[in-house]
């Protein structure tokens, strides 16, 4: 990892709602993570709860698109989320101690990886204040053809937009009034393996479908600031509703 000017990225984060750190991890570090992911998928995924594993096609293991809370099942990934350089940067950007809430694996399988709807993570998190941060670490090349992340600069300062149900598995809520002005304001962030994107919980972002013959794999990190209070009852009720809807849909097939 190259030296990072923490004061500079803090300034950018506060102004824009996101920062992009190129070469945050070395080639060797990315190769290690990819090796651990491959082993995790082979040995851990078969025994994980269904509501933590998402496929584009439930009948095709090759279409795996998302794994949640992988740090609970593997000591290597527990060390990536907590007590790590990722956690230290989260502390700097949020300006307080943080709690590592989730480490996720994301993929957009070739040709069938669906678009990620425009949304604000804070809508899912249900925090007051919305002191939380999400990180997205590229594990392979991500570009406009296979669905790189797109942000709207400064959108973390303009409040929560209205959200509604989507048909995208793993991203159940999307902004309902996202229009031409929003699309015109987007900034795309192509990324190479080891590049790190970080954004505020209120920052609007999305990603296109994967139209290429390549996958688009990444790790996602979620940290809550210690000052953030979670509406646990509302969140649990929401998650239960999603599980019921998902299993009912699968049972109807």
pLDDT band at 241 (very low <50, low <70, confident <90, very high): low
pLDDT digits (tens, 9 = 90+) for 147-175: 999 999 999 999 999 999 887 766 778 99
Q: Is the pLDDT of residue 94 over 60?
A: yes
Give the pLDDT score at 64: 95
Q: Is the pLDDT of residue 233 over 80?
A: no
Give the pLDDT score at 246: 55
Contact 21/194 with Cβ under 8 angstroms? Answer: no
Q: Is the pLDDT of residue 2 over 80?
A: no
- Give the span between the Cα atoms of 199 and 76, in whole angstroms: 24
Q: Is the pLDDT of residue 244 over 90?
A: no
Give the pLDDT score at 3: 79
pLDDT digits (tens, 9 = 90+) for 165-209: 887 766 778 999 999 999 999 999 999 999 999 999 999 999 999
| pLDDT, greater one: 35 or 252 | 35
> Which residue intervals of the chain are DSSP H helices?
6-16, 27-43, 75-81, 85-94, 121-125, 180-185, 232-251
pLDDT digits (tens, 9 = 90+) for 19-28: 999 999 999 9
Closest by Cα among 116, 191, 117, 123 to 156 = 123
- Give the span between the Cα atoms of 168 and 44, in whole angstroms: 24
User: How buried is residue 199: exposed, middle or buried, by Cβ count under 10 Å (0-12/13-18/19+)?
Assistant: buried
pLDDT band at 97 (very low <50, low <70, confident <90, very high): very high
Three-class secondary structure of residue 164 per DSSP: strand
pLDDT band at 250 (very low <50, low <70, confident <90, very high): low
Closest by Cα among 19, 26, 35, 18 to 217 = 35
pLDDT band at 121 (very low <50, low <70, confident <90, very high): very high
pTM for this model (two decimals): 0.91
What distance lies between CA 147 and its chain's CA centroid? 13
Closest by Cα among 50, 54, 37, 45 to 219 = 37
Q: Is the pLDDT of residue 240 over 80?
A: no
Tokens 């527990």, located at residue? 78
Three-class secondary structure of residue 58 per DSSP: coil
Type and span of the H or E element at 222 = strand 218-225
Q: Is the pLDDT of residue 249 over 80?
A: no
User: Of 33-47, 114-128, 228-242, which gets the smallest average pLDDT?
Assistant: 228-242
**For the ranges 47-51, 52-56, 82-86, the one whose mean pLDDT is highest:** 82-86
Give the pLDDT score at 51: 86
Domains of the chain from N-terminus onward: 6-251 (2.60.120.620)
**DSSP conformational letter for 46:** G
User: How buried is residue 174: exposed, middle or buried, by Cβ count under 10 Å (0-12/13-18/19+)?
Assistant: buried
């Amino acid at each position: 990892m190259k030296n990072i000017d923490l004061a500079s990225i803090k300034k950018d984060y506060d102004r824009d709602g996101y920062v992009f750190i190129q070469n945050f991890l070395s080639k060797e570090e990315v190769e290690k993570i990819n090796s651990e992911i491959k082993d995790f998928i082979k040995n851990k995924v078969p025994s994980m709860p269904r509501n933590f594993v998402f496929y584009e096609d439930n009948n095709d293991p090759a279409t795996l698109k998302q794994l949640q809370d992988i740090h609970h099942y593997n000591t290597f990934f527990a060390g990536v989320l907590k007590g790590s350089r990722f956690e230290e940067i989260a502390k700097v950007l949020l300006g307080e101690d943080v709690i590592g809430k989730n480490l996720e694996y994301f993929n957009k399988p070739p040709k069938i990886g669906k678009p990620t709807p425009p949304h604000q993570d804070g809508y899912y998190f249900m925090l007051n204040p919305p002191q939380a941060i999400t990180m997205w670490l590229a594990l392979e090349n991500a570009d406009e053809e296979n669905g790189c992340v797109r942000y709207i600069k400064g959108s973390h300062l303009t409040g929560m937009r209205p959200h509604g149900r989507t048909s995208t598995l793993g991203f159940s809520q999307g902004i309902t009034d996202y229009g031409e002005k929003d699309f015109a304001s987007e900034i795309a962030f192509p990324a190479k393996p080891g590049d790190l994107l970080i954004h505020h919980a209120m920052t609007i972002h999305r990603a296109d479908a994967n139209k290429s013959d390549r996958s688009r794999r990444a790790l996602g990190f979620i940290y809550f600031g210690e000052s953030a209070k979670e509406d646990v009852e509302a969140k649990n009720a929401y998650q239960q509703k999603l599980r019921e809807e998902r299993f009912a849909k699968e049972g109807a097939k």
